[in-house]
Amino acid sequence: MIRTRTVLIAMLALLAACASNPWTVDIFKSPEVDVAGKRSFFYRPGEVAAPLVRQPKIVADTEARMRAAITGELLSKGYVEATAPAGADLVVSYQASGTSKFVESDQQRIGAPSPNAVLTPGNVRPPAASEVPPERSVLIIAVVVFAEDPASGRLAWRGLANLETRTSSTEALVRNVVDMARHVTQQFPARVTQ
């Protein structure tokens, strides 16, 4: 009875974890570098592409929030932050970019409207069924968090997440980018002490 309850609680925890992680992360691990065996990291400020945020004040705020998200996750995994790249085992940074594309609206017209809807007095005539639906702008955001081996300069680990959004709010975009970076860094291997 107790075992069944324990299994049920574990399954619910796993389900809650899956539901709270909306992004699929594409991960690359270098076979030459044992990332989990490293002790320290140096955070190097990343890059935010201009289409996402253009104002210097917002870029600075985004950088501060990205640093807090990435370093916070790495510290919780047992790594120590170094003050200089020379004394660090890994150099960690990120890149965030966005591109716009136009897609057709979700409201596609299929067939003609009902005669009752068209012939009712006071109703505005709907567009013709042959009319092309309006286009909407969609922003595709990509966030990459990566760790380099400072000795060789080679990529040791990389995580990538993508998101399509229709929001035009700068604050919502920054919040999405920071959440994506946090989620990507959660996939970083935990430090293994020897």
Q: What is the pLDDT of residues 89-105, one digit of tens each?
A: 999 999 988 877 766 55
- Residue of 187 and 173 predicted with greater confidence: 187
Query: What's at 163, amino acid-wise?
Result: L
Cα–Cα distance measured from residue 185 to residue 83, given in angstroms and rounded to the nearest whole number: 20
Q: What is the pLDDT of residues 142-176, one digit of tens each?
A: 999 999 998 888 899 999 999 888 777 888 888 99
> Is 194 inside any structural domain?
no
- Domain tally, the chain: 1
CATH number at residue 36: 3.30.160
Question: Does the pLDDT at position 77 exceed 80?
Answer: yes
> Is 121 inside any structural domain?
no
Q: What is the pLDDT of residues 129-146, one digit of tens each?
A: 666 666 667 788 899 999
Q: Which residues of 152-183 are buried (b: 16+ CB within 10 A; e: fewer)?
A: eeeebbbbbbebeeeeeeeeebbebbbbbbbb
| Predicted pLDDT at 17 | 46
| Predicted pLDDT at 138 | 76
Question: Does the pLDDT at position 184 exceed 80?
Answer: yes
**Residue in 35, 36, 62, 38 with CA at minimum distance from that of residue 50:** 62
Q: Which residues of 57-78 are buried (b: 16+ CB within 10 A; e: fewer)?
A: ebbeebbebbbebbbebbeeee
> Is 115 inside any structural domain?
no
| Predicted pLDDT at 160 | 94
**Domain span at residue 144?**
24-105+126-186
pLDDT band at 14 (very low <50, low <70, confident <90, very high): very low
The number of CA neighbours under 13 Å toward the Cβ of 76 is 11
Q: What is the pLDDT of residues 50-71, one digit of tens each?
A: 665 677 888 888 899 999 999 9
- How does the average pLDDT of the chain come out, rounded? 79
Q: Of all residues in the chain, what percent carry a pLDDT higher than 90?
A: 35
> Is 45 inside any structural domain?
yes
> Is 101 inside any structural domain?
yes
pTM more than 0.85: no
